[in-house]
Amino acid sequence: MLLGVIADDFTGASDIANTIAKGLPGQGGLRTAQFLGVPRKETTSDIEAGVIALKSRSIAAADAVAQSLEALHWLLAHGCRQVVFKYCSTFDSTPTGNIGPVAEALAEALDAHGVIACPAFPAAGRTVYQGHLFVHDRLLNESGLQNHPLNPMTDPDIRRWLTRQSRYPVGLVTWSSVRAGPAEITAKLRKAHGSGQRLVIVDALGDDDLVAIGTAAASAKLITGGSGVAMGLPANFIAAGLARGSTSLGIGVDGPEAILAGSCSGATRGQVERHQQKHPTLAIDVDSVMRGDTTASDLVSFVLGNHGKAPLVFSSGSPDEVSRLQGRYGRDAIAETLDALFADTARKLVSAGVRRLVVAGGETSGAVVTALDLGALTIGPEIDPGVPVVISTGQAPVAMALKSGNFGAPDFFVKALDRMAGR
């Protein structure tokens, strides 16, 4: 393995696995596998990039550090020369969150300095300018992310946000230096290191900026950011003669289907609304779930009774609905109960023969995929920016789309099921 990734959630892991497997147009990417947690079994040796999906985004910093270091040691033991710590392109974390602690712990373990921190993902509308994060034309804290159920993002100045989570001062490489090219970026990162800054926010407005940042990072031991930061990395390995550049597999997994949405983001709610117009949908009554009256068996009966019609089950609610429920039951109690409900539902569905599964939401995907225990996933074709089809190996492969809350076009759900079937 050449390149290793530690991703703090499962949708984020398939997002960056997609970027690495795709590489740059005309060049191809690296042969990539996504692992669900630190692999316990040996993996095949023809993998060039390994992406370890953790479910660490919203857990205590000390636990996230411990899990990330374990992942790091596994990647290093499997030959990785470079490691990426992947977090959300909207920098999802709280002021006491774990992006800073994990990045600093990895940097210390690798003796890395002047470490890039760049969440930009322009294809999904996330850009960073003067250390401020934008989602399309809005600052982060006005983009809807201020209402996130677990990590409300209330400050668009991510240097300030990261500083709250970090032990060392946080630096900034501004867009003018990024525009000046890889040599200037490297010089600025060195300068930041010289002034005692360990993590350095790097501005990026477009894919060409990310490719320049990737080129500048050719010999970096550690890079941190969203999936965009990996855009230019496969090309470094190809240029060094270590990889040849490969293209992702076509696939065709047909069979019963289900869509499970636990994300309350604006994009997911839009996709749910669109889907409701033509397909059977079941809105989960969260009060009833909390009372124990609605269970996974109810959801499973609905899905299996609507086989062939792209049935959708969702808990996605508006910000008002989410705050009402959180006020009544507590944020963590709801998240735990719903995650367990989706996990149990997915397990029962796959046992009943479901082979195509779309899951919306990072936490929700983490719960589902952990419950399914499918082993390593291969990366198939891209559905929409940041979301590939992923396929389990073995005799009865399951094709999945693990959709980040805010990703995907309004018709994502149907498109994802079609791509899985090779249509």
Alpha helices in 242-307 (DSSP H): 266-276, 286-291, 296-304
Pick from ligand ATP, ligand LCNOYBR7, none: which does 226 bind, CB < 5 to 8 A by kind?
ligand LCNOYBR7
- Relative orientation angle of helices 331-351 and 296-304, to the nearest 10 degrees: 40
Report 64-123 residues binding ligand LCNOYBR7 (CB under 6 A): 88-90, 121
Single residue of 28, 50, 131, 362 touching ligand LCNOYBR7 by CB under 6 A:
362
* Helix/strand/coil for 14: helix
CB of 226 to ligand LCNOYBR7, least distance (A): 4
CA distance linking residue 261 with residue 39, whole number of Å: 27
- Tell me how far the alpha carbon of residue 114 is from its chain's centroid: 24
Pick from ligand ATP, ligand LCNOYBR7, none: which does 15 bind, CB < 5 to 8 A by kind?
ligand LCNOYBR7
CA distance linking residue 198 with residue 166, whole number of Å: 9
CB of 386 to ligand LCNOYBR7, least distance (A): 6
For 227, residues 6+ apart whose C-beta sits below 8 A from its C-beta are 12, 15, 16, 18, 19, 86, 89, 121, 386
For 241, residues 6+ apart whose C-beta sits below 8 A from its C-beta are none
Report 222-251 residues binding ligand LCNOYBR7 (CB under 6 A): 226-227
CB of 140 to ligand LCNOYBR7, least distance (A): 12
CB of 12 to ligand LCNOYBR7, least distance (A): 3
Q: For 15, how many CA atoms within 13 A lie in the half-sphere containing its CB?
A: 35
CB of 261 to ligand ATP, least distance (A): 8
DSSP letter at 180? Answer: T
CB of 362 to ligand ATP, least distance (A): 3
Identify whether the C-beta of residue 303 lies closer than 8 Å to the C-beta of residue 258: yes
Single residue of 386, 388, 392, 398 touching ligand LCNOYBR7 by CB under 6 A:
386
Single residue of 15, 104, 203, 209 touching ligand LCNOYBR7 by CB under 6 A:
15
Pick from ligand ATP, ligand LCNOYBR7, none: which does 386 bind, CB < 5 to 8 A by kind?
ligand LCNOYBR7
Q: Which helix (H) or strand (E) holds 369?
A: helix 362-372
Sheet of 138-139: strand order equals 126-129, 132-135, 138-139
Q: Which helix (H) or strand (E) holds 321?
A: helix 319-329
Residue 32 binds ligand LCNOYBR7 (CB under 6 A): no
Report 89-108 residues binding ligand ATP (CB under 6 A): none
Quick one: 96 or 288, whose CB is closer to ligand ATP? 288
Residue 265 binds ligand ATP (CB under 6 A): yes
Quick one: 234 or 405, whose CB is closer to ligand ATP? 405
Residue 319 binds ligand ATP (CB under 6 A): no
DSSP letter at 248? Answer: P
Which residues are bridge partners to 201 per DSSP? Answer: 117, 172
Residue 390 binds ligand ATP (CB under 6 A): no
CA distance linking residue 301 with residue 348, whole number of Å: 10
DSSP letter at 147? Answer: G
Phi/psi at 142 (5° precision): -120, 15
CB of 190 to ligand LCNOYBR7, least distance (A): 27
Residue 271 binds ligand ATP (CB under 6 A): no
Q: Which stretch, 47-55, 64-72, 230-238, 321-329, contacts ligand ATP (CB under 6 A)?
A: 321-329
Single residue of 141, 263, 306, 345 touching ligand ATP by CB under 6 A:
263
For 289, residues 6+ apart whose C-beta sits below 8 A from its C-beta are 295, 315, 337, 338, 341
User: What is the total residue count of the chain?
Assistant: 423
Site residues (CB under 6 A) for ligand ATP? Answer: 9, 11, 148-150, 262-265, 268, 286, 315-317, 321-322, 325-326, 334-335, 338-339, 361-364, 404-406
Site residues (CB under 6 A) for ligand LCNOYBR7? Answer: 9, 11-12, 15, 88-90, 121, 226-227, 362, 386, 404
